[in-house]
Amino acid sequence: MAMRELERLREIPTATATTSDGNLYAGEEPFASLPGSELEHTLRPNLQGSEFLQGFRSVDQGPPQRVLSNFLHSFLHNSQGGMPFRPTSLPVLGLSEGDKQCIRDRSSIMARHLFADKSEEFIHSQVNALLSSLDIDNDIRARGPIPGRYPELEEYWNESQGMRPGPHGADGWISEFTQHQVAPDNPNMWVQSFERQHGANGWASEFEHEQSQLASIDQMRGSNMPNLAAMEQTRLLAHTLAQNKDPKFQNSKFLQFVSKMSRGEITIEDNQFKPAAFSAPGDWATEYDQQYGGGQSWADQFSNEQLSHGPHGWANEFAAERKQHGVTDNEWVNEFSKLNVNDWSEEFERQVADGTLGDASADNWANAYDEYLNEQVALKQKSETSRGLYEFSDLNPYVGHPNPLKEGQELFRKGLLSEAVLALEAEVMKNPENSEGWRLLGIAHAENDDDQQAIAAMMRAQEVDPTNLEVLLALGVSHTNELEQAAALKYLYSWLRHHPKYGTITPQDQPENLYYADVARIFNDAAKLSPDDADVHIVLGVLYNLSREYDKAIEAFQTALKLKPRDYSLWNKLGATQANSVQSADAILAYQQALDLKPNYVRAWANMGISYANQGMYEDSIRYYVRALAMNPKADNAWQYLRISLSCASRNDMLEACDSRNLDILQKEFPL
């Protein structure tokens, strides 16, 4: 390359970090900032930043590029003929570790597609021949960036993107692919290898390097969610590709796949890379995204191809894709010359100085994974109830009991809620038309802090006995707890309509859309009609909770409590209302009243925990959550809240016990 050209290149922010293995560029410091090498390092933001800035100043990508390009071309040509590849000796190319990894990774994936009809052995020998010529160790797996603990997450991730193990049952391929998928830099590397093989235009490929560099660091900031930025790229890609009028391309599975993937998916718009920094705003960013998106798409496309058709379809897609690139490449060069380089580096310095990469991000990621697993477990457990179906426990010892209803009532009275649930389940399995069985089951679940199951049971009770006032009120309360306003309003209105005393003041035809104000007015009339009926005050209190008129709600419950001072659930309702209107200290007193009357009232224990947590007293809240969970280990809300409190109280040492739901450890650690 001519000196003049080299000098021009020096003025450009390229990030090629070609480490010299000896001769060509001796004296240059080896860089770690090449895309593909980030994950070999621990995440040190500042270091990363300075390496990046150094990368700005380093420019060398001359003859070796061309040699490599020719070499890879010959590999491809050879391959098309299905001939074994014969290694040739090459001049020292001065490939960096990152380069090597890139080539290694790409070739093995590429080879599997080129030789889809060949045996694994053949593929291996082809790749090995290629790699040994380039003096690259074939140890893909050893360098895999993924710690072993995320395999399930990856599996899920792949699944969510419509990837299924391919027809060849190529598990090895899938897991390899997964590595590529997760490593944030790899999409760029596709583009790089691509450029090396096909892009004779030095400008374009230098620029490409630059982009990869920026993108990698961009993704580093969100390193705990490496796939996310890629999703946005996919979206942009889908958009771009959709504009290609070629009907063959329009019908391609690839496009369908990409657009399906992008529909309703993540976007991340990082306004720190806003196009305003350049003299040609907008265009540049769009093109960058297209280009980068194209890179990502390769990985996607491979997975797609694995599913659908063989190497020929792949070649077609490739050509279509190439067309897109061909156009943008030229425009890139134009846009590129307009770039204001200083803005770039300043942006970077600022961002790195911001410490956008928290030390905790790796932890967060690991935690997120744990929580994800919990979530999956919970989803499995809740899959039925979320659709309003009651879910029965396995292995119920009360099945076959001569009188499970009586047993259930007895257990409920003793406050053994979880046992009562089992007995009552046995009852309703035996007599599905027993509304009292379902009702009490619903109440037991509500007191056990499980509104989903409570609603499911109460709905069965209501099916059998549509006008039962207790059932209607319970449904109104549970739906209020679940913040389901319309449903709650419907049941509270039904309560009024079916009440022997108040039915007469209620319009008989239930309107399609209930208006809160109308319902509230009728209830107030009812309360005036019989001020000594505790129930109407209770419903009124629930209704005011719905409209978040907490003062009125508190007043209504207090009135009811004067009439029914030993109603523990009423004390809890008062407490919950006070808590939700940030009178946590009062709430705790009310909950205490409830617990004095009913010591095994799981909901009140859990509510205690919430009140302490909302006051920032996390250590205290933990003890109450643990207590609630000791009585009902199925109270999912309490588990979730416990987890938050443990984090906030800096008791991360107990998170594992929480995630594994190990109550022995938790109770020992947090006695009440």
**Where in 18-77 is the site for other proteins (CB under 8 A)?**
none
Q: Which is nearer to other proteins, 558 or 640 (CB)?
A: 640
Which stretch, 121-129, 131-139, 418-426, 474-482, contacts other proteins (CB under 8 A)? 474-482
Residue 367 engages other proteins in binding (rule: CB under 8 A): yes
With CB under 8 A as the contact rule, the residue among 146, 228, 399, 665 that binds other proteins is 228
Among candidate residues 454, 446, 439, the one with its CA nearest the CA of residue 409: 439
**Where in 337-356 is the site for other proteins (CB under 8 A)?**
354-356
State the first-to-last Cα distance of the chain, in angstroms, to the nearest integer: 76
Residue 92 engages other proteins in binding (rule: CB under 8 A): no
- Give me the 128-167 binding string for other proteins, x by CB under 8 A, dash otherwise: -----------------------------x--x-------
Residue 598 engages other proteins in binding (rule: CB under 8 A): no
With CB under 8 A as the contact rule, the residue among 152, 375, 433, 596 that binds other proteins is 375
Report whether 595 contacts 604 (CB < 8 A): yes
Minimum separation from the CB atom of position 650 to other proteins (A): 12
DSSP code of residue 195: H
With CB under 8 A as the contact rule, the residue among 526, 613, 629, 657 that binds other proteins is 613
CA separation for the pair 595, 287 (Å, rounded): 64
With CB under 8 A as the contact rule, the residue among 225, 280, 527, 663 that binds other proteins is 225
Contacts of 2 (CB under 8 A, 6+ apart): none
The set of long-range contacts for 132-139, using a CB threshold of 8 Å and a minimum separation of 24, is 132/87, 133/71, 133/87, 133/88, 133/89, 133/90, 134/68, 134/71, 134/90, 134/93, 134/95, 134/100, 134/103, 135/95, 136/95, 136/100, 136/103, 136/104, 137/100, 137/104, 138/104, 138/108
Minimum separation from the CB atom of position 397 to other proteins (A): 29
Q: Which is nearer to other proteins, 291 or 611 (CB)?
A: 611
CA-CA-CA-CA torsion sign (435, 436, 439, 445):
negative
CA separation for the pair 540, 15 (Å, rounded): 68
Minimum separation from the CB atom of position 187 to other proteins (A): 17
CB atoms within 10 A of CB 613: 23
Q: Which is nearer to other proteins, 25 or 372 (CB)?
A: 372
Minimum separation from the CB atom of position 103 to other proteins (A): 30
Minimum separation from the CB atom of position 146 to other proteins (A): 15
CA separation for the pair 73, 79 (Å, rounded): 10
Minimum separation from the CB atom of position 456 to other proteins (A): 16
CA 315 to chain centre: 34
Q: Which is nearer to other proteins, 422 or 590 (CB)?
A: 590
**Where in 506-565 is the site for other proteins (CB under 8 A)?**
513-517, 542, 545, 547-548
> Using alpha carbons only, how large is the chain's radius of gyration in Å?
33
Within 308-394, residue ranges assigned H as helices are: 311-337, 341-353, 361-382
Residue 238 engages other proteins in binding (rule: CB under 8 A): no
Q: Which is nearer to other proteins, 106 or 445 (CB)?
A: 445
How buried is residue 153: exposed, middle or buried, by Cβ count under 10 Å (0-12/13-18/19+)? middle
With CB under 8 A as the contact rule, the residue among 155, 283, 371, 384 that binds other proteins is 371
**Where in 104-133 is the site for other proteins (CB under 8 A)?**
none
Minimum separation from the CB atom of position 32 to other proteins (A): 22
Helices 568-580 & 584-597, crossing angle to 10 degrees?
170
Report whether 241 contacts 228 (CB < 8 A): no
CA separation for the pair 37, 318 (Å, rounded): 27
Minimum separation from the CB atom of position 20 to other proteins (A): 35
**Where in 385-424 is the site for other proteins (CB under 8 A)?**
none
Whose tokens are 């800096």? That residue is 650
CA-CA-CA-CA torsion sign (170, 175, 181, 187):
negative
Which stretch, 15-23, 194-202, 426-434, 477-485, contacts other proteins (CB under 8 A)? 477-485
With CB under 8 A as the contact rule, the residue among 23, 243, 271, 508 that binds other proteins is 271
Which stretch, 193-201, 317-325, 341-349, 363-371, contacts other proteins (CB under 8 A)? 363-371
**Where in 629-658 is the site for other proteins (CB under 8 A)?**
637, 640-641, 643-644, 647-648
Q: Which is nearer to other proteins, 42 or 271 (CB)?
A: 271
Which stretch, 76-84, 98-106, 259-267, 436-444, contacts other proteins (CB under 8 A)? 259-267
With CB under 8 A as the contact rule, the residue among 277, 368, 469, 563 that binds other proteins is 368
Residue type, 596: D
CA-CA-CA-CA torsion sign (290, 296, 299, 304):
negative
Q: Which is nearer to other proteins, 78 or 558 (CB)?
A: 558
Minimum separation from the CB atom of position 413 to other proteins (A): 22
**Where in 575-594 is the site for other proteins (CB under 8 A)?**
575-577, 579-582, 584, 587
Report whether 361 contacts 224 (CB < 8 A): yes
The set of long-range contacts for 394-400, using a CB threshold of 8 Å and a minimum separation of 24, is 396/422, 396/425, 396/426, 396/429, 397/422, 398/422, 398/423, 398/425, 398/426, 399/426, 399/429, 400/426
Which stretch, 59-67, 322-330, 368-376, 435-443, contacts other proteins (CB under 8 A)? 368-376
Which stretch, 139-147, 188-196, 414-422, 614-622, contacts other proteins (CB under 8 A)? 614-622
- Give me the 447-466 binding string for other proteins, x by CB under 8 A, dash otherwise: --x-x---------------
CA 278 to chain centre: 33
Q: Which is nearer to other proteins, 147 or 616 (CB)?
A: 616
Q: Which is nearer to other proteins, 43 or 268 (CB)?
A: 268
CB atoms within 10 A of CB 360: 10
Report whether 661 contacts 612 (CB < 8 A): no
